[in-house]
Amino acid sequence: MRAAVHRAVEELLAEEVGDGLTIPAVAARAGVHATTLYRRWGSVGELLADVATSRFSGDVVVPDTGSLRGDLQRWAADVATDLADPDVLALMRATLGAGGEQGACACRGDREDQLAAMIEREKARGGTAPTVERTADALLGPLYYRAIFTGEPGSPDWARGLVDLLLPG
């Protein structure tokens, strides 16, 4: 049932229904009762936050290139590619609009956890690494800013360049 509902949300977003993304519309598309959806998710905002959490968790694989620089470069390029997908932007905008703070946080998925994993691995190798917070500011900050606010998502090459600014030398 959850998979059918998530698919219905993604289909309706792709059709640019805008304000028409309501629980009854999702229920009709998914072929389930609206009351079932209200019982499980409460509101379209909570439903969107759930879809966003699924979409942005595990969608980018944590690379293992042997160096923090290489890992972050590949990861940043993959996130840039993901954020350039119009369907991803439509999901993020709808979730930001209807999902409140919970929805907004869902749009990050597990990406800060992924940064933490790469940083921990570098430290386990005996290397030095910036904090997760600093790395999120330097990479996720511009990646999300460009995608959401400028209408011109950054390219994979630009994203790799952000890593060189974070880790000079």
Residues with Cβ within 8 Å of 53's Cβ and at least 6 positions away in sequence, in order, are: 106, 109
Q: Decide: helix, strand or coil at residue 130.
A: coil
DSSP helix, strand, coil percent of the chain (3-state; round to 5): 75, 0, 25
| Tokens encoding 153 | 């998502």
Kindly tell me which of 22 and 121 has the beta carbon lying closer to a second copy. Answer: 22
Residue 108 as a binder of a second copy (CB under 8 A): the answer is yes
Residue 137 as a binder of a second copy (CB under 8 A): the answer is yes
Indicate which single residue of 146, 153, 160, 163 sits in contact with a second copy (rule: CB under 8 A).
Answer: 146
Question: Do 52 and 106 touch, CB atoms closer than 8 A?
Answer: yes
Kindly tell me which of 8 and 83 has the beta carbon lying closer to a second copy. Answer: 83
Kindly tell me which of 108 and 121 has the beta carbon lying closer to a second copy. Answer: 108
Interface with a second copy (CB under 8 A): 18-19, 44-45, 93-94, 96-98, 100-101, 104-105, 107-108, 134, 136-138, 140-146, 148-151, 162, 165
